Amino acid sequence: MSAVIEEHHDDHHDHKPTGIGRWLFSTNHKDIGTMYLWFSFTMLFIGGALALVIRAELFQPGLQFVEPEFFNQMTTLHGLIMVFGVIMPAFVGLANWMVPMMIGAPDMALPRMNHWSFWLLPGAFGLLIESLIMSMMGMGSAPNFGWTFYAPLSTTYGPDSTDFFIFSVHMMGISSIMGAINIIATIMNMRAPGMTYMKMPIFVWTWFITAYLLIAVMPVLATAVTMMLTDRNFGTSFFDAAGGGDPVLFQHVFWFFGHPEVYIMILPAFGIISQVVPTFARKKIFGYSSMVYATSSIAFLSFIVWAHHMFTTGMPVATELFFMYATMLIAVPTGVKVFNWVSTMWKGSMTFETPMLFAIGFIFMFSIGGFTGLMLSIVPADFQYHDTYFVVAHFHYVLVTGALYAIYSAVYFWLPKWTGNMYDEKLGKVHFWVSTISVNVLFFPMHFVGLAGMPRRIPDYNMQFAEFNQMATIGAFVFGFSQLILLWNVVKTIRGRSTVKATDQVWEGAEGLEWTIPSPAPFHSFTTPPTVK
């Protein structure tokens, strides 16, 4: 009997589905990681298209292309798709691919749950995009209350499609929680012998910490949308002042989820940069343990700063002071990370392949986003900046030239490992330079119009803001279409069009912590010649 079972097991093990079945039924962490990445890339173009509608409308004052109502739907869906459909799935895809390989595990701990957590996402975003299609066909309205869906805009005044949106958010949340449980189970139980926690690559550490954040805050988001659901359909009044509720309560609940959420979107990016920079500097990461502790500190502090999004709601001064100082404190561990990356590059044998260019671009432009965040943390200043384009500029420097640049860096860095082929380095560099110039033309002018008082989420504006808005719109279209270069490069690499095959040691053996220093050793100062034996 046992022989029969073993034989059956071997048959099952050898069976490898091909074609569409491979993708529909796969429990392989690499296949699931690939699907997450392609899903994220698809959503990037959809969310980007909505952003281009917004920027086209803002090219000049007055109403040109879309009605204010439709403009609001664009801003709402652009935000939701970019946050939940692009940045988060891309990082989960990278975790699926790389975490088992980095810790020496054969697969994720819970492969079937992994499969399920991916396939919830197309359904969730199908619901959201369906509401937009119905709106375009004149059959109702898509969600139109901003990606933060504040009550009472989303409860008392929300369109019928808000219920689709609530269901969609629940599905995304279930997917995220299952993915996070899987990552924690994998890292805790499936590390290779000898790999202690303090020997794990930084990317694994950042995802380990991020997974705990997800498990902590996703139920809070589920709570918020469930209260919205009962307010809308079952006569409760959690957020309705007329029934004894409090609309500001919604903001507290939302931002208690929302602020750790923005760190969920940046901590894995820190992990990627901590893998890429040492590779191309050909040195170990400077201050490994301080990087781990800094990441943990950021995660802890992210829970006690949520109300800095709410300085203008009329909090007591003592509360404002607490949230101001707590927010400023986050700059310290973040500064430690930036210092360690720069120190890793210092006197290294630097080369500037595409992943390294995106990593350096990340460090520089993410720091700009960090500094503007520090400006926003100052209460009296925030009273001026709140809900202006200065805030839009701030978080796009963090999420586009931060999170998205880290994802690009990771894709170029690991693509040879995934496909066995080298990508086209010239195309990669063109992608980097066109993106970097255009993304700054797009977002940098927003600082100026924001400081001058231009409000967010408004389809029309004063004549004085016209030139900067035209610059931003031109930058947006160039940046948007330059992402087609990446698409072409990735497709070309997967199909093996380039003659260059990737070697076993793609980047000359500098991945992870255990690698040999190329000779001559790069640690000598530039003034002292290396000693000759």
List, by residue number, the catalytic residues: 78, 107, 147, 175-176, 259, 261, 263, 274, 308-309, 334, 337, 456
Q: Which helix (H) or strand (E) holds 19?
A: none
Whether cis (ω within 30° of 0) applies to the bond prior to 520 is yes
CA distances from 213 to 23, 99, 103, 504 (A): 29, 17, 21, 35
Encoded tokens for 215:
């498990």
Two tokens, residue 408: 């690009």
- Name residues whose C-beta falls within 8 Å of residue 418's C-beta, 6 or more positions apart in sequence: 30, 34, 97
Say how far apart CA 530 and CA 533 lie, in whole Å: 10
Do residues 114 and 202 touch, judged by C-beta distance below 8 A? no
Q: In sequence order, what are the residues at sequence separation of 6 or more whose Cβ sits closer than 8 angstroms to the Cβ of residue 125?
A: 43, 81, 84, 85, 168
**Residues 135, 137: Cα–Cα separation, whole Å:** 5
The interaxial angle of helices 317-345 and 288-301, nearest 10 deg, is 160
In angstroms, the CA 10 to CA 344 distance is 47
Residue keyed to tokens 């002292």: 528
Q: Could you identify the residue written with the tokens 């690559």?
A: 201
CA–CA gap between residue 28 and residue 114 (Å, rounded) = 9
Distance CA 331, CA 362 (A): 16
**What does the alpha-carbon distance between residue 267 and residue 295 come to, in Å, rounded to a whole number?**
7
Q: If DSSP states are collapsed to H, E and C, what string results for 466-478?
A: HHHHHHHHHHHHH
Alpha carbon of 182 to those of 116, 122, 208: distances in Å? 11, 19, 10
Two tokens, residue 475:
């930058």
Measured CA to CA, the distance from residue 223 to residue 246 in angstroms comes to 15
E-strand ranges in 343-427 read: none
SS3 455: strand
Token pair belonging to 315: 């909090």
